[in-house]
Amino acid sequence: MEPGHRGIPWALVLIAALGVGLRVAHVFFGEASPYAQAPVMDAQYHLQWAQALVLGTDFQSEAYFRAPLYPFFLGFLNLVFGEDLMIWRLVQCLLGGCTVFLTGLLAQRVFGRPQGIVAALIMCLAWVPLHFDTELLIPVLFLPLVMGALLLTLDLERQASPRRALWAGLLWGLATITRPNVLIFAPIYFFWVRGQSKKRAGWVLALMFTAGWLLPVLPVTLRNRVVGGEWTLVATQAGVNLWIGNNPDSDGSSAIVPGTRAGWWEGYWDARSQADAAVGQALAPGDVSAHYMSRASDWMAEDPGAFLEHLWTKTRLFLSSRELGNNLEPTFFASHYDPLVLTWMLPFGALLGFGLVGAFLGRKRFGEQLPLFVFVPLYGAGVIAFFVCSRFRLPIWPVMAVFAAHGVVLGVCALKGRQFRQAGGIFLPALALWGFSVGITPSNMFTPDAIGEMQLGDAAMAAGNADAAVEHFGLATAHDRVSPHARLGLARALLDTGRLERAQTILDTLLRERAFPEAREARLRVEIKAGRYVEASTMAQDYLRDSGPEPGVLYQLGRARFALKDHPGAQQALGQVLELDLRHVGAVYALALSLDAQGKDSLEAWAAAADLYLSTSKDSPFLQQALSRALELTRARGLDERAAHYAGELKRWLAEHPGP
């Protein structure tokens, strides 16, 4: 079939339907995961934002840290279906089917119907896009927007009109407020669109394309200015992300600002606190971003050799056939619960090998299909500039599937025509590139099972099952290469099961090897759990003197002082925690207890504790006490509306957690 065939073959529809079915099965199998109904990190952040949208509460009173469209999408699902995460994921399966269909349609438009069918099959069956289509993460919405935008943009080469240009730009604008890094394409696409018509008509096309692109973006920019007080185009995360991927301690993949805690909000507030401390004043989000951009630029300029070596490491990670987790370990969680997922089938290395060969074979169409050909190298460069993980690399999958399909189809046609030399010229380079992708993988990486078991241990700890956590962390630390976070998790689990000596041994070893904020806090917990409150207080002050203010250390200092009945001292330490981390629910709860012990007004502290537990830890037994005290104090003040709210929440909690 000739390129540009405009019919929609039933095969594409059926393949997209199969893709939806496989994703639905993945959702049902994945319900066995402890994270299915208790998302963490970015997924939890998106969930909290969606909850705030439905409740009408203020989630971000500053410029957006992250682009808003995907959380808005989840907020819509929350409004329509309620907070049923399984239904949300099932709806996302339809978006995954759209990506499969649009990938096939794009390949058909560029190369022909056979290529369209093969490209759709790749996106239908490959486990990486299948898995991420069921996660509460940005790519599930971003991919169909990008594929739709590419389709409409390439259509301008055949049927250029201002209206079509406007629609193409609109989809790019929606993609921008989903993940802003697509702005990297704007200048190149502008001039390519300009070249699709002669003279004045070309400028009209380009301006309509730009107007469409700006339509979704400008309301976000204006909102950031009006609400946040800053001229921020979409979001303020760029500077922090640049520093995460370009600092002397970066491994090129881990999404952690050096010296911060590992949780999402913990890391967010710690990163801001570091920037505030470095500058000597409280910074607005845009200034925080500029601060970290400056730090990254300074490091690149001061040590260009180390920077170039690190850039090569990130390039290797990007080209590697290994999938890198950012949040949960994808290889482990995709296959651990779903027997239909075969992680050896259609790996990234195969996509890379056949995709590069297919792009080379289709190079004669480079000029007329420039938006497609430049997508992978430009987007890939954007990922490498920051840090590399599977979901950041995922947007190149459908475009590479288009090129890979072209290579596969031409290779198969050559074999059918007994043109073995031509077939060898396709398959052998593709296989060699696949081998290169496997071989370039750094050898010092942790295995997927080690990381997966560690994350199952984290889930068991979050569920209050420390014995199960010890088992999972034990499996994680049994591997040859062990993450220090796995050893820290094991120490915490041992601490919760009362095995203090073994926990202390692990923590002391970790602290000798490297400075972990979480390890210092856990070490203080050993002292507090052993009843050595004076020793804990002294140790905490030593840590603070050596490392500066850390929320976890200050929190444990507050607990130690509370146990010593030094309530003013406890209140001071806990107040410092909340200056560094507004969402530290333990500190708010402990502060409320401290105020009660001093006979001071604790209404707002208990209300804040109840609200934080409701938004972060609804199953916590501490929520009952927080709700009860907030209800008691609001009733005593005659605050009937607030009292009714806490009474309703308390009634709901008691119904969901019946006593023995």
Q: How far, in Å, are 57, 133, 439, 579 from residue 60 at the CA level? A: 9, 26, 44, 17
pLDDT grade, residue 600 (50/70/90)? confident
**Which burial class, exposed, middle or buried, applies to 1 when counting CB atoms under 10 A from its CB (0-12, 13-18, 19+)?**
middle
- Indicate if the pLDDT at residue 1 is higher than 60: no
Angstrom distance (rounded) from CA 135 to CA 117: 26
Contacts of 459 (CB under 8 A, 6+ apart): 34, 35, 38
Contacts 24+ apart (CB under 8 A), 562-565: 562/590, 562/593, 562/594, 562/597, 563/528, 563/533, 564/533, 564/534, 564/537, 565/597
What would the pLDDT profile of 468-493 be if each residue is shown by its tens digit? 999 999 999 988 788 888 899 999 99
- Indicate if the pLDDT at residue 660 is higher than 70: no
Give the pLDDT score at 161: 87
Give the pLDDT score at 201: 83
Helices of type H across 514-550? 517-529, 533-547
Q: What is the distance in angstroms between the CA of the first residue and the CA of the last residue of the chain?
A: 69
What would the pLDDT profile of 25-34 be if each residue is shown by its tens digit? 999 999 999 9
What would the pLDDT profile of 549-569 be if each residue is shown by its tens digit? 888 899 999 999 989 999 899
The three-class DSSP label of residue 328 is: strand
Chain centre to alpha carbon of residue 194 = 35
What would the pLDDT profile of 510-558 be if each residue is shown by its tens digit? 888 876 778 889 999 999 999 999 999 999 999 888 888 888 899 999 9
Tokens 């949780």 correspond to 263
- Indicate if the pLDDT at residue 197 is higher than 90: no
What would the pLDDT profile of 85-129 be if each residue is shown by its tens digit? 999 999 999 999 999 999 999 999 999 999 999 999 999 999 999
pLDDT grade, residue 578 (50/70/90)? confident
Residue type, 297: S
- The arithmetic mean of pLDDT across residues 605-623, rounded, is 79
pLDDT grade, residue 143 (50/70/90)? very high
Q: How far, in Å, are 132, 330, 410, 413 from residue 424 at the CA level? A: 34, 34, 11, 12
Q: Phi and psi of 328, rounded to 5°?
A: -95, 150
Return the number of other C-beta atoms located less than 10 Å from residue 8's C-beta.
13
The whole-model pTM stands at 0.85
Instruction: Using alpha carbons only, give the angle 511, 514, 520 rounded to the nearest 5 degrees.
Output: 40
Angstrom distance (rounded) from CA 623 to CA 488: 27
Query: Taking the C-alpha atoms of 240, 242, 243 and 247 in order, what is their torsion angle to the nearest 10 degrees?
Result: 160
Do you know the residue count of the chain? 660
